[in-house]
Chain A
């Protein structure tokens, strides 16, 4: 696979993964916060909570996000993917503020900025340092 093709593929999977995870987290947060019971150590409560439409939808989105992430891991290093997905933390803060009406303090926004800066710095480094010749085993 040519280098440019590999880069395009990596960012395509990354974009898909970020969108799916942010949407999944939001649906899950909304759903669990509106459940009639507290989630505790009892596994039955978790199973029941999956029947909630919002929780269920969130879970489906997160499962598809996991598949996109598996594909991402096959073309890029974990230590590249982890910082890049930190963009998801910014998305979570935004979605929390807009849709869940959470109070996000100035300090929390500053922290979000730090995370963003770190992610940008890391995105300029090679995506795979352990790449092997392009042949599936």
Chain B
């Protein structure tokens, strides 16, 4: 059950992140402060991809709730980083972000740590 919950969570998280990043990049830089937050809230309602990303996030979140109920916090949270490589790949392919050698190396280190945590 732990692994089913984790898989649902990882897939939903990756999809949600890609949708969010895509839509927010189109929206432009946001300001810090109460007005910035209000604008963010309105934007969520107005933009389709953001709504979809929040639906994915809900799936991911409820899986996380069930996971953290039985698994230790020090396992559940790091294990959620399994979405990492999938997201970085999608960021490169779909969002055309450039992944440099340093960034790729750092990402791999993080992944190695996450794999070790799950053992």
Interface residues on B, range: 35 or more
Does B27 lie within 8 Å of A92, measured CB to CB?
Answer: no
Does B25 lie within 8 Å of A95, measured CB to CB?
Answer: no
On chain B, the residues within 8 Å of A96 by CB distance are 72-74, 77
Instruction: Judge if A7 is at the interface, Cβ distance under 8 Å.
Output: no
Q: How far is the CA of A104 from the CA of B64 in the complex (A)?
A: 20
Interface string of A70-89 (1 = CB under 8 A from B): 11011101111011001011
Instruction: Judge if B40 is at the interface, Cβ distance under 8 Å.
Output: yes
Does B40 lie within 8 Å of A111, measured CB to CB?
Answer: no
On chain B, the residues within 8 Å of A116 by CB distance are 113
Instruction: Report which A residues bind B (CB closer than 8 A).
Output: 1, 6, 9, 12-13, 25-26, 28-29, 32-33, 35, 38-40, 46, 49, 55, 62, 66-67, 69-71, 73-75, 77-80, 82-83, 86, 88-89, 92-93, 95-97, 100, 102, 104, 107-108, 110-122, 124-125, 129-130, 132, 134-137
The binding surface of chain A is classed by DSSP as helix
On chain A, the residues within 8 Å of B57 by CB distance are 66
The binding surface of chain B is classed by DSSP as helix
Does B77 lie within 8 Å of A118, measured CB to CB?
Answer: no
- Near A by CB (< 8 A), chain B positions 50-96 give 50, 57, 61-62, 64-66, 68-70, 72-74, 76-78, 81, 84, 87-88, 91-92, 95-96
Instruction: Judge if B114 is at the interface, Cβ distance under 8 Å.
Output: yes
Q: Known interface pairs A33-B69, A75-B29, A77-B91. Does A89 touch B97 (Cβ–Cβ under 8 Å)? A: no
Closest Cβ of chain B to A128, distance in Å, is 9
Closest Cβ of chain A to B62, distance in Å, is 5
Does B65 lie within 8 Å of A1, measured CB to CB?
Answer: no
On chain B, the residues within 8 Å of A114 by CB distance are 109-110, 112-113, 116
Does B92 lie within 8 Å of A79, measured CB to CB?
Answer: yes
Q: Nearest chain-A residue to B69 (Cβ)?
A: A32
The one of B24, B76, B102 that contacts A74, using a Cβ cutoff of 8 Å: B24
On chain B, the residues within 8 Å of A120 by CB distance are 106
On chain A, the residues within 8 Å of B25 by CB distance are 73-74, 130, 132
On chain A, the residues within 8 Å of B72 by CB distance are 96, 100, 102
